[in-house]
Chain A
Protein backbone atom coordinates (compact mmCIF):
# COMPACT_ATOMS: atom_id res chain seq x y z
CA UNK A 1 0.00 0.00 0.00
CA UNK A 2 1.17 3.51 -0.84
CA UNK A 3 3.00 5.36 1.94
CA UNK A 4 1.43 8.76 2.45
CA UNK A 5 3.50 9.99 5.41
CA UNK A 6 7.07 9.03 6.15
CA UNK A 7 8.61 10.55 9.26
CA UNK A 8 12.24 9.91 10.20
CA UNK A 9 13.80 11.14 13.44
CA UNK A 10 11.68 14.27 13.34
CA UNK A 11 12.49 16.76 16.07
CA UNK A 12 11.46 20.25 17.01
CA UNK A 13 12.74 22.40 19.81
CA UNK A 14 11.74 25.90 20.91
CA UNK A 15 13.87 28.48 22.62
CA UNK A 16 12.02 30.38 25.30
CA UNK A 17 13.69 32.74 27.74
CA UNK A 18 17.09 31.25 27.10
CA UNK A 19 15.88 27.69 27.65
CA UNK A 20 15.49 25.05 24.97
CA UNK A 21 12.32 22.98 25.15
CA UNK A 22 12.29 19.78 23.12
CA UNK A 23 8.66 19.57 21.94
CA UNK A 24 9.21 16.64 19.57
CA UNK A 25 12.21 14.42 20.09
CA UNK A 26 13.22 12.22 17.17
CA UNK A 27 9.98 10.49 16.23
CA UNK A 28 9.63 8.06 13.31
CA UNK A 29 6.54 6.48 11.80
CA UNK A 30 4.79 5.81 8.51
CA UNK A 31 1.16 6.15 7.52
CA UNK A 32 -0.35 4.23 4.62
CA UNK A 33 -3.01 5.41 2.21
CA UNK A 34 -6.56 5.26 3.58
CA UNK A 35 -5.48 4.74 7.18
CA UNK A 36 -6.87 6.63 10.15
CA UNK A 37 -3.79 7.13 12.29
CA UNK A 38 -4.18 8.34 15.87
CA UNK A 39 -1.63 10.35 17.82
CA UNK A 40 -2.48 10.04 21.51
CA UNK A 41 -0.74 11.56 24.44
CA UNK A 42 -1.11 13.91 27.38
CA UNK A 43 -1.19 17.70 27.00
CA UNK A 44 2.19 19.01 25.89
CA UNK A 45 3.27 15.61 24.59
CA UNK A 46 4.12 16.97 21.13
CA UNK A 47 1.02 15.93 19.14
CA UNK A 48 0.09 19.38 17.86
CA UNK A 49 3.71 20.31 17.16
CA UNK A 50 4.03 17.15 15.08
CA UNK A 51 0.88 18.03 13.14
CA UNK A 52 2.10 21.57 12.58
CA UNK A 53 5.31 20.28 11.07
CA UNK A 54 3.44 17.84 8.85
CA UNK A 55 1.03 20.55 7.70
CA UNK A 56 4.06 22.72 6.72
CA UNK A 57 3.29 25.44 9.27
CA UNK A 58 6.39 24.75 11.28
CA UNK A 59 9.87 23.67 10.22
CA UNK A 60 11.52 20.75 11.98
CA UNK A 61 14.80 21.44 13.74
CA UNK A 62 16.05 17.92 12.95
CA UNK A 63 15.07 14.89 10.92
CA UNK A 64 12.78 14.81 7.92
CA UNK A 65 9.20 14.16 6.95
CA UNK A 66 7.71 13.43 3.56
CA UNK A 67 4.07 13.77 2.60
CA UNK A 68 3.21 11.95 -0.65
CA UNK A 69 6.98 11.91 -1.28
CA UNK A 70 7.33 15.69 -0.90
CA UNK A 71 9.66 17.11 1.72
CA UNK A 72 7.84 19.25 4.32
CA UNK A 73 10.73 21.70 4.41
CA UNK A 74 11.49 22.13 0.73
CA UNK A 75 8.25 21.29 -1.07
CA UNK A 76 5.58 22.80 1.13
CA UNK A 77 3.65 24.24 -1.85
CA UNK A 78 3.16 20.78 -3.38
CA UNK A 79 2.06 19.36 -0.04
CA UNK A 80 -0.46 22.13 0.61
CA UNK A 81 -2.39 21.20 -2.54
CA UNK A 82 -2.96 17.69 -1.20
CA UNK A 83 -3.74 18.25 2.46
CA UNK A 84 -6.02 20.16 4.75
CA UNK A 85 -6.51 20.41 8.49
CA UNK A 86 -8.92 21.15 11.30
CA UNK A 87 -7.75 22.38 14.65
CA UNK A 88 -10.28 21.82 17.41
CA UNK A 89 -12.04 24.68 19.12
CA UNK A 90 -14.27 27.56 18.19
CA UNK A 91 -11.66 29.85 16.69
CA UNK A 92 -10.42 30.05 13.12
CA UNK A 93 -13.65 31.40 11.65
CA UNK A 94 -14.85 34.83 10.57
CA UNK A 95 -17.81 35.32 12.90
CA UNK A 96 -19.38 38.16 10.90
CA UNK A 97 -19.72 36.01 7.77
CA UNK A 98 -22.40 33.43 7.05
CA UNK A 99 -21.32 29.84 6.40
CA UNK A 100 -21.94 30.34 2.68
CA UNK A 101 -19.79 33.49 2.59
CA UNK A 102 -17.06 31.78 4.61
CA UNK A 103 -17.04 28.86 2.19
CA UNK A 104 -17.12 31.23 -0.79
CA UNK A 105 -14.03 32.99 0.51
CA UNK A 106 -12.13 29.74 0.95
CA UNK A 107 -13.24 28.55 -2.49
CA UNK A 108 -11.50 31.64 -3.87
CA UNK A 109 -8.40 30.94 -1.77
CA UNK A 110 -8.37 27.38 -3.12
CA UNK A 111 -8.90 28.59 -6.70
CA UNK A 112 -12.14 26.67 -7.20
CA UNK A 113 -13.71 27.81 -10.51
CA UNK A 114 -16.59 30.17 -9.82
CA UNK A 115 -19.18 28.09 -11.69
CA UNK A 116 -18.42 25.07 -9.47
CA UNK A 117 -18.50 26.94 -6.18
CA UNK A 118 -22.23 27.12 -5.58
CA UNK A 119 -22.90 23.40 -6.02
CA UNK A 120 -19.74 22.43 -4.14
CA UNK A 121 -20.62 24.60 -1.14
CA UNK A 122 -24.20 23.29 -1.06
CA UNK A 123 -22.89 19.72 -1.19
CA UNK A 124 -20.28 20.24 1.55
CA UNK A 125 -22.66 22.05 3.88
CA UNK A 126 -25.20 19.29 3.38
CA UNK A 127 -22.55 16.69 4.17
CA UNK A 128 -21.98 18.26 7.58
CA UNK A 129 -25.65 19.03 8.18
CA UNK A 130 -25.41 22.81 7.95
CA UNK A 131 -27.73 23.44 5.00
CA UNK A 132 -30.39 25.00 7.20
CA UNK A 133 -27.87 27.32 8.86
CA UNK A 134 -26.00 28.22 5.67
CA UNK A 135 -27.13 31.84 5.69
CA UNK A 136 -26.80 32.47 9.41
CA UNK A 137 -23.86 34.42 10.81
CA UNK A 138 -21.15 32.13 12.15
CA UNK A 139 -21.02 33.96 15.51
CA UNK A 140 -24.50 32.53 16.21
CA UNK A 141 -23.24 28.95 15.73
CA UNK A 142 -22.72 26.44 18.51
CA UNK A 143 -19.31 24.77 19.04
CA UNK A 144 -20.49 21.67 17.18
CA UNK A 145 -21.69 23.69 14.21
CA UNK A 146 -18.35 25.53 14.01
CA UNK A 147 -16.50 22.22 14.08
CA UNK A 148 -18.70 20.90 11.28
CA UNK A 149 -18.11 24.08 9.32
CA UNK A 150 -14.36 23.54 9.74
CA UNK A 151 -14.78 20.03 8.36
CA UNK A 152 -16.66 21.30 5.32
CA UNK A 153 -14.03 24.01 4.79
CA UNK A 154 -11.21 21.49 4.92
CA UNK A 155 -12.86 19.42 2.17
CA UNK A 156 -12.92 22.29 -0.33
CA UNK A 157 -9.71 21.20 -2.04
CA UNK A 158 -10.69 17.49 -2.04
CA UNK A 159 -7.66 16.67 0.13
CA UNK A 160 -6.06 13.25 0.05
CA UNK A 161 -4.77 13.68 3.58
CA UNK A 162 -6.58 15.30 6.49
CA UNK A 163 -5.18 16.36 9.84
CA UNK A 164 -7.79 16.53 12.59
CA UNK A 165 -6.38 17.94 15.80
CA UNK A 166 -8.85 17.21 18.61
CA UNK A 167 -11.86 17.76 16.34
CA UNK A 168 -14.44 16.68 18.92
CA UNK A 169 -13.09 18.75 21.80
CA UNK A 170 -15.92 20.43 23.71
CA UNK A 171 -18.68 18.85 21.66
CA UNK A 172 -21.81 17.34 23.16
CA UNK A 173 -22.24 13.57 22.68
CA UNK A 174 -24.59 14.01 19.71
CA UNK A 175 -22.22 16.44 17.98
CA UNK A 176 -19.23 14.19 18.67
CA UNK A 177 -21.13 11.15 17.36
CA UNK A 178 -22.01 13.02 14.16
CA UNK A 179 -18.41 14.08 13.64
CA UNK A 180 -17.15 10.53 14.17
CA UNK A 181 -19.60 9.24 11.56
CA UNK A 182 -18.33 11.89 9.20
CA UNK A 183 -14.72 10.84 9.79
CA UNK A 184 -15.68 7.22 9.05
CA UNK A 185 -17.37 8.33 5.85
CA UNK A 186 -14.29 10.29 4.78
CA UNK A 187 -12.12 7.25 5.42
CA UNK A 188 -14.43 5.16 3.24
CA UNK A 189 -13.92 7.75 0.50
CA UNK A 190 -10.20 6.92 0.64
CA UNK A 191 -8.95 9.94 2.57
CA UNK A 192 -6.04 9.30 4.89
CA UNK A 193 -6.63 10.87 8.29
CA UNK A 194 -4.31 11.83 11.12
CA UNK A 195 -6.29 12.26 14.30
CA UNK A 196 -5.31 13.54 17.70
CA UNK A 197 -7.75 13.17 20.53
CA UNK A 198 -7.96 12.80 24.27
CA UNK A 199 -10.98 10.52 23.95
CA UNK A 200 -9.67 6.94 23.93
CA UNK A 201 -13.01 5.44 22.99
CA UNK A 202 -13.05 7.68 19.95
CA UNK A 203 -9.55 6.60 18.97
CA UNK A 204 -10.47 2.95 19.51
CA UNK A 205 -13.52 3.36 17.28
CA UNK A 206 -11.89 5.35 14.49
CA UNK A 207 -8.19 4.58 14.27
CA UNK A 208 -6.59 1.76 12.30
CA UNK A 209 -3.31 2.42 14.07
CA UNK A 210 -2.36 4.48 17.07
CA UNK A 211 0.86 5.98 18.37
CA UNK A 212 1.29 6.92 22.02
CA UNK A 213 3.43 10.00 22.39
CA UNK A 214 4.86 11.46 25.57
CA UNK A 215 7.55 14.09 26.13
CA UNK A 216 7.99 14.35 22.38
CA UNK A 217 8.77 10.66 21.91
CA UNK A 218 6.64 7.90 20.46
CA UNK A 219 6.66 5.09 22.98
CA UNK A 220 4.18 2.65 21.46
CA UNK A 221 2.68 2.18 18.04
CA UNK A 222 0.22 -0.34 16.64
CA UNK A 223 -3.45 -1.14 16.18
CA UNK A 224 -5.78 -0.67 19.15
CA UNK A 225 -5.93 -4.45 19.49
CA UNK A 226 -2.13 -4.77 19.50
CA UNK A 227 -1.79 -1.98 22.04
CA UNK A 228 -4.32 -3.61 24.36
CA UNK A 229 -2.55 -6.94 23.92
CA UNK A 230 0.80 -5.32 24.72
CA UNK A 231 -0.68 -4.37 28.07
CA UNK A 232 -1.94 -7.94 28.51
CA UNK A 233 0.16 -8.44 31.64
CA UNK A 234 -2.01 -5.82 33.27
CA UNK A 235 -5.13 -7.09 35.02
CA UNK A 236 -7.84 -4.52 35.23
CA UNK A 237 -10.65 -4.55 37.76
CA UNK A 238 -13.70 -2.45 38.36
CA UNK A 239 -15.22 -2.10 41.80
CA UNK A 240 -17.95 -0.19 43.57
CA UNK A 241 -16.98 0.65 47.12
CA UNK A 242 -18.80 2.57 49.81
CA UNK A 243 -16.17 4.52 51.73
CA UNK A 244 -15.63 7.74 53.59
CA UNK A 245 -11.96 8.52 53.08
CA UNK A 246 -10.91 8.10 49.47
CA UNK A 247 -7.41 9.44 50.12
CA UNK A 248 -6.42 6.26 51.95
CA UNK A 249 -7.25 3.89 49.10
CA UNK A 250 -5.21 6.03 46.73
CA UNK A 251 -2.13 5.13 48.80
CA UNK A 252 -2.74 1.36 48.61
CA UNK A 253 0.45 -0.28 47.31
CA UNK A 254 -0.99 -3.44 45.73
CA UNK A 255 -3.28 -1.64 43.29
CA UNK A 256 -2.88 1.28 40.91
CA UNK A 257 -6.03 3.33 40.48
CA UNK A 258 -6.79 4.54 36.95
CA UNK A 259 -10.12 6.26 37.52
CA UNK A 260 -12.31 6.99 40.49
CA UNK A 261 -15.77 8.43 40.16
CA UNK A 262 -18.35 9.24 42.83
CA UNK A 263 -21.63 7.57 41.84
CA UNK A 264 -23.59 8.99 44.74
CA UNK A 265 -22.62 10.17 48.20
CA UNK A 266 -19.95 7.82 49.61
CA UNK A 267 -20.30 5.33 46.73
CA UNK A 268 -17.35 5.26 44.36
CA UNK A 269 -16.71 3.43 41.10
CA UNK A 270 -13.02 2.60 40.82
CA UNK A 271 -11.05 1.10 37.94
CA UNK A 272 -7.64 -0.15 38.90
CA UNK A 273 -4.89 -2.52 37.89
CA UNK A 274 -3.45 -5.09 40.21
CA UNK A 275 0.29 -5.06 40.56
CA UNK A 276 0.67 -8.66 41.78
CA UNK A 277 -0.16 -11.24 39.11
CA UNK A 278 -1.12 -14.09 41.43
CA UNK A 279 -3.76 -12.12 43.33
CA UNK A 280 -7.33 -13.47 42.89
CA UNK A 281 -10.63 -11.62 43.12
CA UNK A 282 -11.20 -12.78 46.72
CA UNK A 283 -7.90 -11.28 47.85
CA UNK A 284 -8.69 -8.08 46.00
CA UNK A 285 -12.02 -7.85 47.81
CA UNK A 286 -10.18 -8.25 51.10
CA UNK A 287 -7.81 -5.41 50.26
CA UNK A 288 -10.63 -3.10 49.24
CA UNK A 289 -12.66 -3.95 52.32
CA UNK A 290 -9.94 -2.30 54.42
CA UNK A 291 -11.20 1.04 53.08
CA UNK A 292 -14.96 0.52 53.04
CA UNK A 293 -17.80 -1.79 52.13
CA UNK A 294 -17.25 -3.50 48.78
CA UNK A 295 -20.46 -3.59 46.77
CA UNK A 296 -18.97 -5.56 43.89
CA UNK A 297 -15.73 -6.32 42.05
CA UNK A 298 -15.32 -7.65 38.53
CA UNK A 299 -12.36 -8.25 36.28
CA UNK A 300 -12.58 -5.83 33.40
CA UNK A 301 -11.73 -6.32 29.76
CA UNK A 302 -8.75 -4.14 28.84
CA UNK A 303 -9.89 -0.97 27.06
CA UNK A 304 -7.65 1.37 25.08
CA UNK A 305 -8.01 3.87 27.90
CA UNK A 306 -6.76 1.28 30.41
CA UNK A 307 -3.84 0.43 28.14
CA UNK A 308 -3.09 4.14 27.70
CA UNK A 309 -3.15 4.94 31.42
CA UNK A 310 -1.14 1.85 32.24
CA UNK A 311 1.43 2.67 29.58
CA UNK A 312 1.73 6.31 30.62
CA UNK A 313 2.20 5.23 34.25
CA UNK A 314 4.94 2.85 33.17
CA UNK A 315 6.67 5.72 31.41
CA UNK A 316 6.44 7.72 34.62
Chain B
Protein backbone atom coordinates (compact mmCIF):
# COMPACT_ATOMS: atom_id res chain seq x y z
CA UNK B 1 0.00 0.00 0.00
CA UNK B 2 2.84 2.30 0.98
CA UNK B 3 4.61 1.47 -2.29
CA UNK B 4 1.55 2.53 -4.30
CA UNK B 5 1.31 5.76 -2.27
CA UNK B 6 5.02 6.39 -2.82
CA UNK B 7 4.64 5.87 -6.57
CA UNK B 8 1.61 8.17 -6.76
CA UNK B 9 3.41 10.91 -4.85
CA UNK B 10 6.52 10.42 -6.96
CA UNK B 11 4.51 10.96 -10.15
CA UNK B 12 2.50 13.84 -8.69
CA UNK B 13 5.32 15.78 -7.06
CA UNK B 14 8.44 15.03 -9.07
CA UNK B 15 7.38 14.80 -12.69
CA UNK B 16 8.76 18.01 -14.04
CA UNK B 17 7.62 18.83 -17.54
CA UNK B 18 9.34 22.21 -17.22
CA UNK B 19 12.72 20.49 -17.34
CA UNK B 20 14.19 21.38 -20.75
CA UNK B 21 16.03 18.06 -21.07
CA UNK B 22 12.84 16.07 -20.55
CA UNK B 23 10.89 18.40 -22.82
CA UNK B 24 13.45 17.58 -25.52
CA UNK B 25 13.32 13.83 -24.87
CA UNK B 26 9.53 13.65 -24.69
CA UNK B 27 8.31 16.15 -27.26
CA UNK B 28 11.12 17.11 -29.64
CA UNK B 29 13.20 13.96 -30.09
CA UNK B 30 10.26 11.93 -31.53
CA UNK B 31 9.78 14.69 -34.10
CA UNK B 32 13.40 14.37 -35.21
CA UNK B 33 13.28 10.60 -35.59
CA UNK B 34 9.89 10.66 -37.31
CA UNK B 35 11.17 13.28 -39.75
CA UNK B 36 14.06 10.96 -40.65
CA UNK B 37 11.58 8.10 -41.07
CA UNK B 38 9.38 10.29 -43.28
CA UNK B 39 12.22 11.20 -45.65
CA UNK B 40 13.46 7.61 -45.71
CA UNK B 41 9.97 6.66 -46.85
CA UNK B 42 10.10 9.37 -49.52
CA UNK B 43 13.47 8.18 -50.83
CA UNK B 44 12.94 4.42 -50.68
CA UNK B 45 10.01 2.27 -51.48
CA UNK B 46 8.97 -0.61 -49.27
CA UNK B 47 10.41 0.37 -45.89
CA UNK B 48 8.64 -1.01 -42.84
CA UNK B 49 7.07 2.20 -41.58
CA UNK B 50 5.67 0.58 -38.42
CA UNK B 51 9.10 -0.68 -37.46
CA UNK B 52 10.65 2.77 -37.87
CA UNK B 53 7.86 4.48 -35.94
CA UNK B 54 8.15 1.95 -33.16
CA UNK B 55 11.94 2.37 -33.18
CA UNK B 56 11.44 6.14 -32.76
CA UNK B 57 9.06 5.50 -29.88
CA UNK B 58 11.47 3.05 -28.25
CA UNK B 59 14.34 5.53 -28.43
CA UNK B 60 12.21 8.21 -26.75
CA UNK B 61 11.23 5.79 -23.98
CA UNK B 62 14.77 4.51 -23.72
CA UNK B 63 16.27 7.97 -23.30
CA UNK B 64 13.67 9.09 -20.79
CA UNK B 65 13.86 6.01 -18.57
CA UNK B 66 17.61 5.58 -18.57
CA UNK B 67 18.62 9.24 -18.29
CA UNK B 68 16.08 10.24 -15.68
CA UNK B 69 16.38 7.03 -13.66
CA UNK B 70 20.15 7.01 -13.91
CA UNK B 71 20.35 10.51 -12.48
CA UNK B 72 17.68 9.91 -9.81
CA UNK B 73 20.15 9.44 -6.96
CA UNK B 74 22.82 11.82 -8.21
CA UNK B 75 20.31 14.67 -8.35
CA UNK B 76 19.26 13.93 -4.75
CA UNK B 77 22.90 14.09 -3.78
CA UNK B 78 23.27 17.47 -5.46
CA UNK B 79 20.20 18.91 -3.75
CA UNK B 80 21.41 17.51 -0.41
CA UNK B 81 18.23 15.50 0.11
CA UNK B 82 19.85 12.09 -0.29
CA UNK B 83 20.82 11.71 3.36
CA UNK B 84 17.20 12.26 4.41
CA UNK B 85 16.11 9.50 2.06
CA UNK B 86 18.89 7.21 3.30
CA UNK B 87 17.76 7.36 6.93
CA UNK B 88 14.01 7.10 6.21
CA UNK B 89 12.35 3.78 7.14
CA UNK B 90 11.31 3.17 3.52
CA UNK B 91 14.42 1.67 1.95
CA UNK B 92 16.34 3.72 -0.56
CA UNK B 93 15.85 0.80 -2.93
CA UNK B 94 12.05 1.32 -2.74
CA UNK B 95 12.43 5.08 -3.17
CA UNK B 96 14.51 4.66 -6.31
CA UNK B 97 12.21 1.92 -7.57
CA UNK B 98 9.29 4.34 -7.26
CA UNK B 99 11.24 6.97 -9.19
CA UNK B 100 12.11 4.46 -11.90
CA UNK B 101 8.51 3.24 -12.20
CA UNK B 102 7.32 6.83 -12.34
CA UNK B 103 9.73 7.41 -15.22
CA UNK B 104 8.40 4.26 -16.89
CA UNK B 105 4.85 5.65 -16.78
CA UNK B 106 6.04 8.89 -18.39
CA UNK B 107 8.00 6.86 -20.93
CA UNK B 108 4.77 5.16 -22.00
CA UNK B 109 3.30 8.61 -22.53
CA UNK B 110 6.29 9.41 -24.76
CA UNK B 111 5.42 6.36 -26.89
CA UNK B 112 1.84 7.58 -27.22
CA UNK B 113 3.15 11.06 -28.17
CA UNK B 114 5.30 9.47 -30.90
CA UNK B 115 2.28 7.62 -32.30
CA UNK B 116 0.15 10.77 -32.20
CA UNK B 117 2.86 12.73 -34.07
CA UNK B 118 3.21 9.96 -36.64
CA UNK B 119 -0.51 9.91 -37.39
CA UNK B 120 -1.44 13.58 -36.99
CA UNK B 121 1.68 15.38 -38.26
CA UNK B 122 3.31 12.88 -40.62
CA UNK B 123 0.13 11.13 -41.79
CA UNK B 124 1.76 7.68 -41.53
CA UNK B 125 -0.49 4.71 -42.00
CA UNK B 126 0.27 3.10 -38.65
CA UNK B 127 -1.15 -0.39 -38.43
CA UNK B 128 -0.65 -2.48 -35.31
CA UNK B 129 -2.21 -5.90 -35.92
CA UNK B 130 -2.72 -6.88 -32.26
CA UNK B 131 -2.79 -3.86 -29.98
CA UNK B 132 -2.87 -5.85 -26.73
CA UNK B 133 0.03 -8.07 -27.73
CA UNK B 134 1.99 -4.98 -28.76
CA UNK B 135 1.14 -3.17 -25.52
CA UNK B 136 2.11 -6.23 -23.45
CA UNK B 137 5.49 -6.50 -25.16
CA UNK B 138 6.06 -2.76 -24.69
CA UNK B 139 5.40 -3.20 -20.96
CA UNK B 140 7.98 -5.99 -20.87
CA UNK B 141 10.49 -3.70 -22.56
CA UNK B 142 9.71 -0.82 -20.18
CA UNK B 143 10.17 -3.17 -17.23
CA UNK B 144 13.61 -4.20 -18.49
CA UNK B 145 14.52 -0.55 -19.06
CA UNK B 146 13.39 0.28 -15.51
CA UNK B 147 15.51 -2.47 -13.99
CA UNK B 148 18.59 -1.26 -15.86
CA UNK B 149 17.70 2.34 -14.91
CA UNK B 150 17.59 1.27 -11.26
CA UNK B 151 21.04 -0.27 -11.49
CA UNK B 152 22.40 2.80 -13.26
CA UNK B 153 21.01 5.02 -10.48
CA UNK B 154 23.15 3.21 -7.91
CA UNK B 155 26.20 2.98 -10.16
CA UNK B 156 26.07 6.69 -11.08
CA UNK B 157 25.60 7.64 -7.43
CA UNK B 158 28.50 5.55 -6.24
CA UNK B 159 30.84 6.52 -9.06
CA UNK B 160 30.12 10.06 -10.17
CA UNK B 161 32.98 9.91 -12.67
CA UNK B 162 30.97 7.18 -14.45
CA UNK B 163 27.95 9.53 -14.52
CA UNK B 164 30.01 11.98 -16.53
CA UNK B 165 30.23 9.33 -19.28
CA UNK B 166 26.55 8.40 -19.33
CA UNK B 167 26.14 9.26 -23.01
CA UNK B 168 29.02 6.96 -23.88
CA UNK B 169 27.28 4.15 -22.02
CA UNK B 170 23.66 4.69 -22.97
CA UNK B 171 23.87 5.50 -26.69
CA UNK B 172 25.81 2.36 -27.74
CA UNK B 173 23.30 0.32 -25.71
CA UNK B 174 20.52 1.40 -28.11
CA UNK B 175 22.49 0.00 -31.04
CA UNK B 176 23.63 -3.10 -29.17
CA UNK B 177 20.08 -4.04 -28.14
CA UNK B 178 18.91 -4.14 -31.75
CA UNK B 179 16.66 -1.09 -31.94
CA UNK B 180 18.00 -0.11 -35.38
CA UNK B 181 19.68 -3.25 -36.70
CA UNK B 182 18.87 -6.91 -36.00
CA UNK B 183 21.22 -8.39 -33.39
CA UNK B 184 21.89 -11.34 -35.78
CA UNK B 185 23.81 -8.97 -38.03
CA UNK B 186 26.41 -8.28 -35.29
CA UNK B 187 29.68 -10.24 -34.75
CA UNK B 188 29.20 -13.26 -32.49
CA UNK B 189 30.77 -11.76 -29.37
CA UNK B 190 28.48 -8.73 -29.64
CA UNK B 191 25.48 -11.02 -30.10
CA UNK B 192 26.39 -12.87 -26.87
CA UNK B 193 26.77 -9.56 -25.08
CA UNK B 194 23.49 -8.23 -26.51
CA UNK B 195 21.49 -11.27 -25.42
CA UNK B 196 22.75 -10.82 -21.85
CA UNK B 197 20.85 -7.52 -21.75
CA UNK B 198 17.11 -7.85 -21.03
CA UNK B 199 16.20 -4.97 -23.35
CA UNK B 200 17.46 -6.93 -26.38
CA UNK B 201 14.79 -9.59 -25.80
CA UNK B 202 12.25 -6.87 -25.03
CA UNK B 203 12.98 -5.03 -28.30
CA UNK B 204 12.71 -8.31 -30.24
CA UNK B 205 9.39 -9.05 -28.52
CA UNK B 206 8.03 -5.62 -29.51
CA UNK B 207 9.07 -6.13 -33.17
CA UNK B 208 7.73 -9.69 -33.17
CA UNK B 209 4.38 -8.41 -31.92
CA UNK B 210 4.17 -6.22 -35.04
CA UNK B 211 4.55 -9.25 -37.31
CA UNK B 212 2.47 -11.49 -35.01
CA UNK B 213 5.41 -13.88 -34.82
CA UNK B 214 4.94 -16.78 -32.41
CA UNK B 215 8.38 -16.01 -30.92
CA UNK B 216 6.98 -12.97 -29.11
CA UNK B 217 6.04 -14.94 -25.96
CA UNK B 218 9.42 -16.64 -25.73
CA UNK B 219 11.27 -13.35 -26.22
CA UNK B 220 9.10 -11.57 -23.67
CA UNK B 221 9.65 -14.47 -21.23
CA UNK B 222 13.45 -14.24 -21.63
CA UNK B 223 13.31 -10.49 -21.14
CA UNK B 224 11.29 -10.86 -17.93
CA UNK B 225 13.55 -13.62 -16.66
CA UNK B 226 16.72 -11.64 -17.31
CA UNK B 227 15.15 -8.49 -15.81
CA UNK B 228 14.29 -10.52 -12.69
CA UNK B 229 17.90 -11.70 -12.43
CA UNK B 230 19.13 -8.11 -12.83
CA UNK B 231 16.64 -6.95 -10.20
CA UNK B 232 17.94 -9.49 -7.69
CA UNK B 233 21.54 -8.60 -8.55
CA UNK B 234 20.54 -4.93 -8.16
CA UNK B 235 19.13 -5.58 -4.70
CA UNK B 236 22.30 -7.40 -3.62
CA UNK B 237 24.42 -4.73 -5.23
CA UNK B 238 22.42 -2.02 -3.42
CA UNK B 239 23.05 -3.61 0.01
CA UNK B 240 26.76 -3.83 -0.65
CA UNK B 241 26.94 -0.36 -2.07
CA UNK B 242 25.08 1.08 0.92
CA UNK B 243 27.75 -0.28 3.26
CA UNK B 244 30.50 0.89 0.90
CA UNK B 245 29.03 4.39 0.69
CA UNK B 246 28.56 4.63 4.45
CA UNK B 247 32.12 3.52 4.81
CA UNK B 248 33.47 6.01 2.28
CA UNK B 249 31.11 8.78 3.35
CA UNK B 250 29.74 9.18 -0.16
CA UNK B 251 26.02 9.51 0.65
CA UNK B 252 26.35 13.18 -0.13
CA UNK B 253 27.62 13.55 3.38
CA UNK B 254 31.18 14.64 2.78
Interface residues of A in 79-114 (CB under 8 A from B): 80-81, 83-85, 87, 89, 91-94, 96-97, 101, 104-106, 108-111, 114
Contacts of B13 in A (CB 8 A): 94, 96-97, 101, 104-105
Contacts of A97 in B (CB 8 A): 13
Contacts of A76 in B (CB 8 A): 246
- State in angstroms the CA–CA spacing of A111 and B243 once bound together: 23
A57 at the A/B interface (Cβ < 8 Å)? yes
Q: Which of B39-47, B85-93, B174-182, B222-230 contacts A (4 or more CB under 8 A)?
A: B85-93
| Contact of B87 with A93 in the complex, beta carbons under 8 Å | no
| Contact of A104 with B79 in the complex, beta carbons under 8 Å | no
| Contact of A80 with B9 in the complex, beta carbons under 8 Å | no
Q: Mark B227-254, 1 if CB is under 8 A from A, else 0.
A: 0000000000000000100110101011
- State in angstroms the CA–CA spacing of A77 and B251 once bound together: 16
Q: A93-B81, A94-B81, A96-B16 are in contact. Are A80 and B5 (CB under 8 A)?
A: no
| Contact of B253 with A57 in the complex, beta carbons under 8 Å | yes
- State in angstroms the CA–CA spacing of A207 and B95 once bound together: 36
A59 at the A/B interface (Cβ < 8 Å)? yes
Interface residues of B in 1-30 (CB under 8 A from A): 2, 5-6, 9, 13-14, 16
Contacts of A104 in B (CB 8 A): 9, 13
- Give the shortest distance, in Å, between B245 (CB) and chain A (any CB): 9
| Contact of A109 with B89 in the complex, beta carbons under 8 Å | yes
| Contact of A92 with B79 in the complex, beta carbons under 8 Å | yes
Partner of B87, one of A14, A59, A85: A85
Contacts of A57 in B (CB 8 A): 83, 86-87, 246, 249, 251, 253
Q: Mark A37-62, 1 if CB is under 8 A from B, else 0.
A: 00000000000000010011111000
| Contact of B247 with A59 in the complex, beta carbons under 8 Å | yes
Interface residues of B in 64-99 (CB under 8 A from A): 79-81, 83-90, 95
Number of interface residues of B (CB under 8 A): 26
- Give the shortest distance, in Å, between B21 (CB) and chain A (any CB): 15
- State in angstroms the CA–CA spacing of A52 and B87 once bound together: 11
| Contact of B79 with A94 in the complex, beta carbons under 8 Å | yes
Contacts of B251 in A (CB 8 A): 57-58
- Give the shortest distance, in Å, between B121 (CB) and chain A (any CB): 31
Q: A92-B84, A94-B13, A104-B9 are in contact. Are A111 and B90 (CB under 8 A)?
A: yes
Q: Which residue of B lies closest to A86 (CB)?
A: B84
| Contact of B90 with A109 in the complex, beta carbons under 8 Å | yes
| Contact of A110 with B89 in the complex, beta carbons under 8 Å | yes
- State in angstroms the CA–CA spacing of A291 and B240 once bound together: 65
- Give the shortest distance, in Å, between B30 (CB) and chain A (any CB): 26
| Contact of A111 with B89 in the complex, beta carbons under 8 Å | yes
- Give the shortest distance, in Å, between B169 (CB) and chain A (any CB): 27
Contacts of B243 in A (CB 8 A): 59
- State in angstroms the CA–CA spacing of A97 and B81 once bound together: 13
| Contact of A108 with B89 in the complex, beta carbons under 8 Å | no
- State in angstroms the CA–CA spacing of A111 and B2 once bound together: 7
Q: Which residue of A lies closest to B4 (CB)?
A: A108
Contacts of B88 in A (CB 8 A): 80, 106, 109-110
Contacts of B79 in A (CB 8 A): 91-94
Task: List 5 contacting pairs A-B, 8 Å CB cutoff, sorted by A.
Answer: A56-B246, A58-B246, A77-B89, A109-B88, A109-B95
Closest 3 CB pairs between A and B? Answer: A91-B80, A109-B88, A92-B80
Task: Other than A76-B246, A105-B13, A108-B2, give 10 A-B pairs with Cβ distance below 8 A.
Answer: A14-B249, A56-B246, A58-B251, A59-B246, A83-B87, A87-B83, A91-B80, A93-B79, A94-B13, A108-B5
